[in-house]
Structure formats: structure tokens, C-alpha cells
Amino acid sequence: MTYDPDNIFGKILRGEIPCHRIYEDEHTLAFMDVMPMVEGHCLVIPKEGSRGLLDAKPEVLHQVMATVQKVARAAVTAFDAEGFQIRQYNEPAAGQTVFHLHVHILPLKEGQRPAPHVGGMADHAVLARQAEKVRAAL
């Protein structure tokens, strides 16, 4: 499979679709997931296009994971989480639905279980407030 730059995350990177930004540097972008599984569900993507983990350059993976660590730390603080999950899916058989490498960050409280990632879109005012909370904790 090859990378298609017209995927939704490619469009976000080009400014064609808005997002609730949390953090950005020259290599990565972090923003709120519009179909959150938990309060504070964040995504981190590389700016360089790759379909998934296996076709990404090692330096891109390093940059992505450095941002995941930074944003996860802030999300845990912002939402008083007791832990967090990171999830990364590759190809349809594994549950990937957007074919641009991305990592999910799910801040969690003890015993909390994430909702399925198939619900409707969250209220954008709520996502904006959540993004501000995470940015404030960076």
C-alpha cells in the first residue's frame, strides 16, 4: 500500500480542514481527536507523510514519539489522569481508518475504559476547551 496525501490528516496539515491544535513543531502536530474515546483524547502525527509505522523513516518515528511523550505528560496533568494509553494502528486489519501515521493518547483514571472509536463527533466547543487545558499544561 502507498501513502495518499489526500487523507484527512494530510488535509489538516495543509490547512484545508481545521483542527483543535495542542502542539506543533517543525516535524509533528498534536491535536484533539474529533471522535474521542475518553476526555482529552489527543493525536500526534508527523508532518512527513507515511502510511504507517513500517514505511516511516526511523527519524520520523523518533520525532513522533518525542512529541507523544511531551503531549501525554501534559494530557495526564490537564485531566488529572492516573495513567494513559498510547495506541497506534496499522492497516485495516488492525483497525487503522486514516492512512497517515498517527498515535492516539488516551489519559485514563483507574478503572476507566475507553469508548469505541466509532461514535459521533464531539462538540467543537468542548474540544477547544480540552485543547486549551492541554496547551496550558505543556
Q: How far apart are alpha carbons 77 and 83 in whole angstroms? A: 10
Instruction: Write down the catalytic residue from 20, 41, 100, 102.
Output: 102
Candidates 9, 107, 22, 21; CA nearest to 50 is 9
Does residue 100 have an active-site annotation? no
Contact 61, 48 (CB under 8 A): no
Q: How far apart are alpha carbons 5 and 74 in whole angstroms? A: 29
Contact 15, 21 (CB under 8 A): no
Q: How far apart are alpha carbons 9 and 45 in whole angstroms? A: 8
Residues forming the active site = 102
